Every structure is written in C-alpha cells, then in structure tokens.
Structure 1
Amino acid sequence: MISLFDFSDPRDAGAQRLRHVFGTPRQVLVAHALHEVRSVVEAAEAAARAGAWVLGWLCYEAAPAFDPALVVHAPQEGTALAWFAVHDAPGPWPQAPAQGAATIDWHGQPALAAFEQALAQIQQGIAAGAYYQVNFTAPLRGRFEGDAAALFAALQRAQPGGYAAHVDAGDGTQVLSVSPELFFDWQAGPDGQGEILARPMKGTAARGATPAQDAAQAVQLRASPKERAENVMIVDLLRNDLSRIAEPHSVRVPRLFHAEQLPTVWQMTSDVQARTRAGTRLVDVLAALFPCGSVTGAPKVQAMRAIHALEDGPRGVYCGALGLLRPAPQRGAGAMAATFNVPIRTIELHGAQARCGIGSGIVWGARSDAEWREWETKRAFVERASAPFEILETLALEGGAYRHMAEHLARMRVSAAHFGYPFEDAAVHGCLHALAEAHPGGPWRVRLLLDARGVPRAEAFALAATPQPVRLALAARPLAQAHSEWVRHKTTRRAHYAAFAPAAGSGVFDTILHNAAGEITETTFGNIAVLLDGRWITPPLACGLLPGVGRAVALRTGRVQEGLLRLQDVPRVQQWAFVNSLRGWLEAQLV
C-alpha cells in the first residue's frame, strides 16, 4: 500500500516540487454516506493541524454534503465519498521509476451521436436562460493489466508536471491522477486566516505540428472570444465562491488568460486569490468551492442539475478533489497547508476495471465538431500511457555506413523530448556502431528503437531493391488520427497505419492517406510528392503527417516545395513519387 504525491508549487513554478512517498497509514478516514463526509473532512484537518500528513480525495458525488442544492447521481456501490489516509511523515521520492509493464484495453468510447445530442440540449438550456455554461463529460472504460506503479510512471511521462498523485486505498481501489489543474492551495494559520489561491483551467487548443503553428495556436487560444468567455465565466464563479470565506475586498484576479503548455494541448488558466477570514475551516472552504466551477459550469446549481440529466452515472473521483494536508509550522503551531488538484486526466482502478472521464465546457458558441476534437485531444494523454511503445527510426545501412544518420537521430531526439524518454547520444551511437560492424557489406534496413527507460536497440534486415514505378492506392476513408502525436512522431504504435495497409497479393506498394478535410497527407510508411501545375510539391506538415527525413532532404535540395494537395486535385496530378529515407525517391503510379 504505497502512495505517491508529486505536486508543483502553485505559487512558485521554479520551486522544488512537493514529492513524497507514503506507506501504510496509521489511520484511514472514510465516508460512505453523505452525512459522514463533513466529519471525515474535519478529522483529516485536525490530524494535519496536529502535525500529521494527510492525503486523500473527495468524489464529485460528495457535493450535497456541503450544499444540499447540488444535485448528483448516487455514487457507485462501495465507493468512498471521502477517503483520507493519516501518516506521521512522508518518505523520500524513489530514485528510479517503476520498471514494470501496464496496459489498458479501452472500450465503450463515447459515441459522437450521443455527444451531439447532449450538446444540442445544453445549448437549448443556454438559449432559455437556465445557465451560461455546462461542463459535460463521459467515461472511458477499460480492462487493466499489469503494475499500477508502472502505469502511473507512464501517465507522468504523458502528462508531466502539474499535480500528480497515485493513491492506493488498499482495497483494490487506486487513483492515478496527473491533473494539470490546481483546485486550491490554502496556507492557513491556526485561526483559519491565510491566503487561498484557485487556478481554474478553461479554454483548450491542440498543439501545433510545427513550432510556428504551435505558437500560433497559443496566440489564437488567448485571443479567442469563445475561449475567453468560457474562462471568464468560471473566474467570475470562483470569485463569487471565494467571497463566501474571504475577508472583505480581498478577492482579486492577478493573472487572467494565461496559456499553459502541455504535451498534447494548450490550456488557458487564470488565478483567483483571497485572504480567508478568522475561523475558516476546511469544511467551509469546501462548502464555498466544491466541486470546482471549472468542472460544473455556471451558475453551479443549475449547471449541476443539467449534468445530472445529461450524464448516465456518477463521476467518482474524477471532477472531485484530490490532495494533501500537511502541517505548516512556519505559520505557527496548529497551522496547515492544503493543496488539492481537480482530478481531471485521472484514472480510477477498481481491480482490473479502469475508468477515466473526458469532458469540456459547453457555451453558446460551441460547435459540436470543435468540441469533439477537443475531447479527442484531451484523450491523447491516456492513450499514450495505456500501452508500452518505443520510439522508432528506420535507416538505410550500406557498405557499413548509415544514410542520413544525423537527421534520423535529430528526429529521434525531438520525439524523445516530446514523450519524456531519456536520450543519451553515446548509447545510441554505440548501439548503431555495433550493428554496423556486424553488417559491413550489402544494403540493410535498420530499425533503431528507444524505450521508455532510454535504452536503445537496433536490428538489421536485408534490403532488396524496389522495382519502379511502385503502385499506390488512395485510401477509401480519412485517417482519423492525422493530427495526432502518433503521426507527428514515429513510434512502434502503428495500428492506425496498419488499418490502411494494402491487401497481400494486391500488387499495391502502399496506400495514400488523407485527412478529414480532404487533404492528402502521406502514405503508411513514406511521404508523397506530386508534379502538379508544372512543379513538384509535397504536403505541408500542418495537414497531419510525419516529418520524413527523405522529404526533408528533398525540400532542402529544392527538388520539391511544400504545397497543399486536395482530393479534388488528384485528376490533375501529372506524376507521383513515393519518398522516404530508406528507399529514396521512387517513381509511382496511382491505381
């Protein structure tokens, strides 16, 4: 029964992280019924003020314990509405990450038709004046196998930083949260006076395919009237909530519309601060703030009624609160610090059953296609962590020398940084050198792989010449993942490509892919170039494709230029070419 906490310092991004390990607790405080929640919270606070370290969570369904007007579903049978473990002191953070394996086979994904219907109902309610915003969510469900500590390590690689915690309740229930969102940080003196900071997160944009596009995405997020409106609605709600426990005129918003960079998304946050009044206790803070407005909508009471009507069941720890209470002796005897995240980007394990919620705030200007893409973008973190994968480069080895080795290693280094994999130049070069010495003659296809620990390995396969022209076929449907990180980076996770592979015996060399906008992107294992209107062009990275090394060489040498190629342009194409570093430039025919 080991729990891990790895929280940012909310008030100083450059400060040392709060990273601790907790073993078997000396006491566990549990509430299974609403009438028990407040007493559990009070006992947890009393323990922290007496010098203990207390970690735990509140489920979203605990909300009526603080305000009976808040409507929720009945909790799942056996679920603890509030769970806190009391420890005398924490232990040091482990020196090495977990080395086990973990996978989750997800099923029961949210259906687009149901999502569109719910969005339409929400907008009808907005039009009728019932509320301004509703945070609508749905669960992903899956089967978990392996080591939960390894899964937490993978989640942290997928979503580094933020407010991460792995809490083991010891009864088969484990909560693994890599939430980037701070609910509140309260530095409270023994009399309850102190400073409280809330940092609601509202407003999302996907990361860009190139540095320039990525920077533009952040600028557009901060400037978007829809995203700013979504954010300011929740800021106003939090200001009002905090005023219930704040000294007069102390509520302020020192930072508004800040774009935070996460691996798969840009998120907009704002800071809301206040000074708490004398006599304030943790139950008062929760009665004022819980659940966080960013996961309900505004006004909170009406938004939660809409959530109850639209969502099929309880949210559980997702959208509740997860955090740590600890003594703050610098503020005097009996002082306490309380830091809670909003448990988004969070997986609950109940034995072999896994659950993860995905959602977004719906406002009047929301469009179903854009909101659905936001859900897909937010889901990327859990997909990345759900099964092991390696970063992959495919190089040509001929006469003991690698073709374009520097370019391949530069691309692998970028991917390693993106996925949080260690990359040691000496180890990778040593691995390739040993393979080249073992294969001094002839052409070889070399697969260079880098695992999550940063360990490289390489393998060689005989490379036969490719007869030209190669035959290419156009995909019958769009590649849904065209703008995902699994396309922008080359890894062993290639099921999305395998689904488009030509049938054996068809005589087709590869399949030409296109995105949902009807723009041609690449093939399943190479890039595309076409002669159109008298010039050779290759699709730009913004269309959703791998930045191939062969493609980069052709661009650098002036053989091709970037240019948009749409499906309707295909009849006008004068010549086709398949391009990658391994096989070079191959003449191609469309069949």
Structure 2
Amino acid sequence: MSNNKPFGVEALPRVDVPGAPAGCRDRLVERARLQWHPADGGDPAVLAQEFLAAHGIAWHDLARPGTHDPTGVCGAALYLSAAAGALIAGGAPGAPSPVPALPDMVVVVYGHAPSPPARPAGGGWWLGDWRDSWTPREHENAVAAVRAAIGRGDVYQVNLVGHAAAPYAGDPLPALARLAALPGARYGGTLSGLGWAVGCASPETLIALEHGRLVTRPIKGTRPATPAGRRELLASAKERAEHVMIVDLERNDLARVARTGSVRVDELFAVRRWCDLWQAESTVSAAPADGLGLADLLRAVCPGGSVTGAPKLAALDRIAALEPVGRGAGMGALGWVGPDRLDLGLTIRTAAADAERLHLWAGGGITWGSDPAAEVAEAAAKAAPVRALLAAG
C-alpha cells in the first residue's frame, strides 16, 4: 500500500531479537548481515556457521563456548525458515512462501554502540480483515487425509498449519514488536530487513545451550486456560500420546549429536499457560558431543519435531502435499547466537510483514484420535491473541 512506511535494518534502533542479552539490547548496533534464499545455492546451516565464525562468533565445538566481549561483537540474530530447515534435513520444503521478500535464512551480527539510540515515534496504524488460505472445510479435509495416512501406516503424526493474511497501512514494526508483551512469550521479539519484518511471541525453545547441555522444550497439547481445561489436558490420553511421541522424536534428534548416554527427559508433560491457553511442555536435554558444530546441530533439530511430526521426513512429505501455502516465517527458528550463548526459539505464534500485508500461521498436531472440527478450533484459538494484538492501535 502506498502509505505504508518503508522499513529496513535500522527501523527499530533498539534490538529486540529473541534471546539477545538483556543488558546489551539498548546499545546494540548492526555490524554485518547475511541473507539467503534457496536460489542462492549452498547449505544454509554451513553458510551461517562460516559467516558467524568470520565475524568472531566461532561455534565449531559447542562443548567449548567462548566468552562475551562487552566492547566487541556481542552476538548475532539467527533466523531460519521452516523451508530452510526442511532443506537442511533433506525433506520436502513445501509450498512457496506467501512472503517471498522474506529470506529463508538471516544472520545479523551486532556490536555495542557507546550509547542507546533514540527510538522513533510510531505513526498511524490500520489493519484490515484477515483472509485465510484455506476454509474450515478444507482444513478439516486435510486432517482427514492425515488420519488416512496414519491408518495406512505412512506416518504416526503430522502437524498441519494454516495461513492467513491481512492488508495494513502504517508502520508494521511497532505492531509486530507488541507481540513480545503477550504472556508466556519466552521468545518475544522482532527482526527486520528491507521490505520485510518478523514479530514473534513464541513460548517454545527449539534448541538452547544451557549450563553445558543442549536443551529443547517441545510443546504439544492445548486446552483453554480454565480450571476445567487444565483437568481435561492432564486427563487426555490422546494429548499425552501425541506429546510423548514428539518427546521421543526430540530425544532421537538430540541423540544424533549428543555424547553417548547423555540424553535425558528432565520434565515430562508439564502444563503451562500461554495467553488464554494451557499447553503441555516437556524438557529434553543432552551433553553435546565433542567437536559438534552449529551446522550439524541445526541439521539435527531443524525443522522442529513438534511442528512437523513423526517420522519427520515422512511428515514433511504429507505437509508438502496438503498445505496450500508455505509456512514462511512460521514454524522455523529465531533467536540469538553469541560467543558464549545459543538460544533459538521455534517460530510458532509468529507474524510477518511484507510491503502490503501481515501474515500469520497457526495449526496443530494430527493423530489418529484427532477430531477435524476440534483441530480447526484449536488453530483459531492459537491465532486469536496474536490477531488481537496486531490490530491494536
């Protein structure tokens, strides 16, 4: 739209990238940037590791982290789309993205500015009506197709994701930045470039390095945030089976890059709140194998098991066949990689902007016990708080 503000790498001076060190955010300044599309060729995981190393963030051995330099390079934002994750894993990348201006991999290296830059004042904001890329009936039919595939033994579980878009006028960055205020947004933050921006309110850890261990926190299982909803979630055999299946998948993913015998489930099916929903979350951790580099870690965990299914490659084939629109910024990875820190969130509850529209993705895991109408309602419930906050003036 002609009255939309152009936005670029310096549109929000304060760095709001998920996982960025809290004590540094007010004085970070961009030093270098790498953006990648599949047409560029090469392996995005390897390119990201090499680019980071060239700028002083060497992650050739995650068992031996570096140190944070308060006067030099602080760290980098790292974004990978779901399609990039699928390519890294050797799976089907799915339908084309509805946000072609958004790269499939972005690495932005930040240093420290001597003083906090001023934040620009926001302008007017208008958001039009959302239009879904599939109807409720089409969504239900896709759920039925997954159940049929499960019945044939092709897959055990598949995560189906829908897309919606809405026209806007004004500057999208303040609206996207508001998503970080949603309750439970562990990975709340933004990343932007010329002609695109991403805002995240994700509660889910894709992969982090904490106290010398690799940690992932898959979320699977949702109910309304009421006392009755919590009881239903805890008592649901279907939700628990779906959840444990993904925990097993994540254990297997980490075992590929972990020290032998070090994988463990630290917490299983803990019920936590995100906005108006209860969600079941587990914690799986492992000690990184000696010599494990960032590229191999990304290859093992991307795309996230909780947004693909099991087996992962077979689930990606089903996703590519059934979802009419690509996942764009949704179901990928976004977070921080510093010399001494790795913390990437899974981009659920995530929106993106191009020059004309906002885009949003939401879905859920489908098992043999899934009810098509209930799955459509669950996806709508996940999208509702994000839509409401984006519409706020």
- The two structures share one fold, judged by TM-score above 0.5: yes
Structure 1: runs of 5+ lacking an equivalent: 10-15, 189-193, 208-213, 329-336, 390-591
Corresponding residue for 1:66? 88
By how many angstroms is 1:261 displaced?
A: 1.1
Distance change >3 Å, CA 35–CA 160, structure 1 → 2: same
Provide the C-alpha distance between the structure 2 equivalents of 1:114 and 1:79, rounded to a whole number of angstroms. 27
Q: Which amino acid aligns with 1:29?
A: L
Distance change >3 Å, CA 233–CA 96, structure 1 → 2: same
By how many angstroms is 1:83 displaced?
A: 0.8
Deviations 1:158-202 (A, max 9, x none): 445411121111x111111111111111259xxxxx410000110
1:35-114 → structure 2 map (5 Å cutoff): 35-46=42-53, 47=55, 48-49=57-58, 51-75=73-97, 77-89=100-112, 100-109=123-132, 110-114=134-138
Corresponding residue for 1:247? 259
Corresponding residue for 1:270? 282
- Report which stretch shifted further, 96-105 or 307-316: 96-105
Matched, 1:117 2:141: yes
Corresponding residue for 2:70? none
Deviations 1:15-46 (A, max 9, x none): x9677257652211122224151342113441
Distance change >3 Å, CA 306–CA 23, structure 1 → 2: same
Provide the C-alpha distance between the structure 2 equivalents of 1:377 and 1:102, rounded to a whole number of angstroms. 24
Greater Rg by CA: 1
Provide the C-alpha distance between the structure 2 equivalents of 1:125 and 1:323, rounded to a whole number of angstroms. 34
Contact 1:7/1:19, CA 8 A, preserved across alignment: no
Corresponding residue for 2:170? 146
1:145-544 → structure 2 map (5 Å cutoff): 145-169=169-193, 171-187=194-210, 194-207=212-225, 214-328=226-340, 337-388=341-392
Provide the C-alpha distance between the structure 2 equivalents of 1:100 and 1:160, rounded to a whole number of angstroms. 27
Distance change >3 Å, CA 138–CA 94, structure 1 → 2: farther
Q: Which amino acid aligns with 2:76?
A: V
Contact 1:53/1:90, CA 8 A, preserved across alignment: no
TM (norm. structure 1) is: 0.57
Corresponding residue for 2:6? none
- Report which stretch shifted further, 358-367 or 146-155: 146-155
Q: Which amino acid aligns with 1:137?
A: V
Distance change >3 Å, CA 138–CA 163, structure 1 → 2: same
Contact 1:28/1:84, CA 8 A, preserved across alignment: yes
Query: How many residues are treated as equivalent by the alignment?
Result: 363
CA RMSD of aligned residues (A): 2.6
Contact 1:258/1:268, CA 8 A, preserved across alignment: yes
Contact 1:237/1:298, CA 8 A, preserved across alignment: yes
Provide the C-alpha distance between the structure 2 equivalents of 1:262 and 1:144, rounded to a whole number of angstroms. 26
Provide the C-alpha distance between the structure 2 equivalents of 1:149 and 1:289, rounded to a whole number of angstroms. 29
Corresponding residue for 1:28? 33
Provide the C-alpha distance between the structure 2 equivalents of 1:310 and 1:364, rounded to a whole number of angstroms. 17
Provide the C-alpha distance between the structure 2 equivalents of 1:154 and 1:185, rounded to a whole number of angstroms. 24
Distance change >3 Å, CA 201–CA 313, structure 1 → 2: same
Q: Which has the higher contact order (CA 8 A, sep 6+)?
A: 2
By how many angstroms is 1:226 displaced?
A: 1.0
1:563-574 → structure 2 map (5 Å cutoff): none
Provide the C-alpha distance between the structure 2 equivalents of 1:85 and 1:292, rounded to a whole number of angstroms. 22
Distance change >3 Å, CA 90–CA 369, structure 1 → 2: farther
Distance change >3 Å, CA 153–CA 59, structure 1 → 2: closer
Aligned to 1:280, what secondary structure does the other structure show? coil
Aligned to 1:5, what secondary structure does the other structure show? coil
TM (norm. structure 2) is: 0.85
Provide the C-alpha distance between the structure 2 equivalents of 1:281 and 1:159, rounded to a whole number of angstroms. 33
Q: Percent identity?
A: 30
Contact 1:32/1:78, CA 8 A, preserved across alignment: no
Provide the C-alpha distance between the structure 2 equivalents of 1:154 and 1:251, rounded to a whole number of angstroms. 36
Contact 1:182/1:198, CA 8 A, preserved across alignment: yes
Provide the C-alpha distance between the structure 1 equivalents of 2:108 and 2:180, rounded to a whole number of angstroms. 23
